[in-house]
Amino acid sequence: MIERIGLSNIQSGLIALRNTAHNIANTNTQNAKALETTYKETPYGVRAFTYKTSEHTSLISDMPNLLQNTTYTKMGIKLIKTADELMGYILDMKA
């Protein structure tokens, strides 16, 4: 269960990172529209959705998004590592 939540965080974070990378790469592209990421809670974590906005891309909003999405992805990785370590401790106690 915990691993599924961590995995959903990683997947959602990677979708958001992809969208932010798209926006940063198209900052100087004329008529390029920004991609936005929205999140929806599920019983097993979070799910990310992408939609195209009517606004142009902007580094002012995309750079903080990059940091936020990187942190979000790292949190998912840390959650999976912690769950794995916990399972190892439990198996060691049973042995």
Kindly give the confidence (pLDDT) of every residue in the chain, 95 residues in length, as a single tens digit, with 9 standing for 90 and above.
778 888 888 899 999 999 999 999 998 888 889 999 999 998 888 899 999 988 888 888 888 888 988 988 998 899 899 989 998 988 888 76
Q: What pLDDT is attached to residue 54?
A: 87
SS (H, E, C) 62-87: HHHHHHHHHHHHHHHHHHHHHHHHHH
Task: Give the global pTM.
Answer: 0.80
Q: What pLDDT is attached to residue 18?
A: 94
Which residues are bridge partners to 87 per DSSP?
none
Q: Is 3 helix (H, G, I), strand (E, B) or coil?
A: helix
Residues 6+ apart with CB under 8 A from 2: 79, 80, 82, 83
Rounded to whole angstroms, the Cα distance separating 29 from 36 reads 17
Considering its fold, how many domains does the chain have in total? 1
- The whole domain housing 43 covers 2-94
